[in-house]
Structure 1
């Protein structure tokens, strides 16, 4: 008899339950800055699902200074930089297109966005600064997926030096070839270059041409570079010319610039 009553009660409960009802899915604990996951040591990598994460008005407000296409499925992390060495946050290994935003201080208390971007973002500030990092889906309509967020100390600032050889070569087509050396370190060679301008007076015409050497080997060793300058208002020729060169080396966080100004002697066809 008891078994029969139990079956009847269960059946009645099933009939009373709303059709299609499902259990509520909770957002992750670090869905907001108040529950941010604490990063205590660097380097550190965290993998988590963000398929149930949400976005809100705070995300939208912070994104006003960032301009990401979306801030869906945002989750938060926090790190206190005791040394001032800086922080790099990398979410590029996630299985969806993810962006990252770094805020100095608690964003709910007026913390300011210092850096943001797709995949990787970095900052360097005063010792003792607490950073809040938001990782999010930057694709409209995509909430998230499997987030892989890596955190590490910011790399050293880039360094670059350059020289320009005092002799250059003018060719029959009117172009001018310059050479020199450079040394680059702590930078991405595809974000670094040697560029500049050559000015030469030929007769009554001031010939002006631009040149570019790219990419660079940023391994700290001394390398040679060469580039060809061409002009739209005349042909370079033998004689003296003025050269202004700018060497640029950029890393994930900052760029270094080294200018070189020098007069050069131009030989016609290498003679």
Structure 2
């Protein structure tokens, strides 16, 4: 009788342990695209434990277009952009490196991947577009953690304006100093710049130079800029020159650009 009771106890324990483990390891309801959590209004910040989330073939199929190191512990959300303002998703407050993929339309039924990236991703499309958003661990050795994802409307498109002064100065070392003004809005100054090419003819030789200004300040104010164009095939001197300059003002989603071409009057200087 004692042996029989022992066998029954062992068998019961064997049945209970897997069931308990299965409950403990249950994947979240939004583990797949079919269970995507609908977010009714923006902005919205979601905090979720993703340590029991999984990854699947759909994740891998989408990642073939994105190229993330991993798509571990993926969870899904669904947002309808009623106005066409666009969608911005920020996962940088998570306690692990969380990547983002944004799909326009149902990813299981022909939806198109429109944006992806680590920590921050955004898109803009037609009013009424439904976006499926996948947040995941992009670290191969990390399943997940505490995801903190903020969903908001995409920021307004950047703007940019640029002027280049007609007068330029050839310095003592053969470089060319240019000046002008610029303004930009809705952009990250560290991801934005002013750059350009300068060309001056010296007999049969064309002297080519390049300049680059970064970072710039994108607060909407008109600001001054100056740059030193250097050449690797000659020295700039007094006379005429031409420049093709451009400003790039880049936000989370897109860049604005304004090119300027003009003829320069170059004088000699000491600085």
Between the aligned partners of 1:158 and 1:87, the Cα distance in structure 2 is 15
Matches within 5 A, 1:62-211: 62-211=62-211
CA drift of 1:31 comes to 0.3
Q: Which residue of 2 aligns with 1:23?
A: 21
SS of equivalent residue, structure 2 residue 256: strand
1:172 deviates by 1.2
Task: Give, in angstroms, the shift of residue 18 of structure 1.
Answer: 2.4
- State the match for 2:41 in structure 1: 41
- The equivalent residue for 2:256 is 256
TM-score by length of 1: 0.94
CA root-mean-square deviation: 1.9
- Structure-2 change in CA distance of 1:174 and 1:31 (3 Å): same
Q: Which residue of 2 aligns with 1:219?
A: 219
**Alpha-carbon spacing, 1:81–1:176, altered in 2? closer, same or farther (3 Å):** same
Q: Is the 8 A contact 2:183 2:220 kept in 1?
A: yes
Give the unaligned 5+ runs of structure 1.
1-7
Using the TM superposition, give the Cα deviation of residue 33 of structure 1 relative to its aligned residue in structure 2, in angstroms.
1.2
- 132-141 vs 198-207, which moves further: 198-207
Deviation at 1:9, TM superposition (A): 10
Determine the C-alpha separation between the residues in 1 that align with 2:160 and 2:65: 31
Q: CA deviation at 1:12?
A: 6.2
For residues 80 and 193 of structure 2, what CA distance do their matches in structure 1 show? 35
> Structure 1 residue 114: deviation in Å?
0.3
**Structure 2: runs of 5 or more not aligned:** none
- Measured after TM superposition, the shift of residue 10 of structure 1 is 8.7
Calculate the TM-score normalised by the size of structure 2. 0.94
Identify the range of structure 1 (171-180 vs 14-23) with the bigger mean alpha-carbon deviation: 14-23
Deviations 1:238-271 (A, max 9, x none): 1111111011111111111101010011110169
Structure 1: how far apart are the matches of 2:270 and 2:262?
19
State the Cα distance separating 1:11 from its structure 2 match: 6.7
- 1:54 alignment counterpart: 54
Separation in 2, partners of 1:234, 1:125 = 48
Q: Distance in 2 between matches of 1:124 and 1:270?
A: 49
Relative to structure 1, is the Cα distance of residues 143 and 167 closer, same or farther in structure 2, using a 3 angstrom cutoff?
A: same
Deviation at 1:14, TM superposition (A): 3.6
| Structure 1 ranges of 4+ moved more than 2 A | 8-16, 18-23
How far apart are the structure 2 equivalents of 1:27 and 1:237?
70
SS at 2:199's partner residue?
Answer: strand
For the 8 Å contact 2:172–2:270, the answer to whether it is kept is no
Query: Shift of residue 67 of structure 1?
Result: 0.6
Which is further off, 226-235 or 15-24?
15-24
How many residues align? The count is 265
- Report the secondary structure of 2:85's partner residue: coil
- Which secondary structure state, in structure 1, belongs to the residue aligned with residue 34 of structure 2? helix
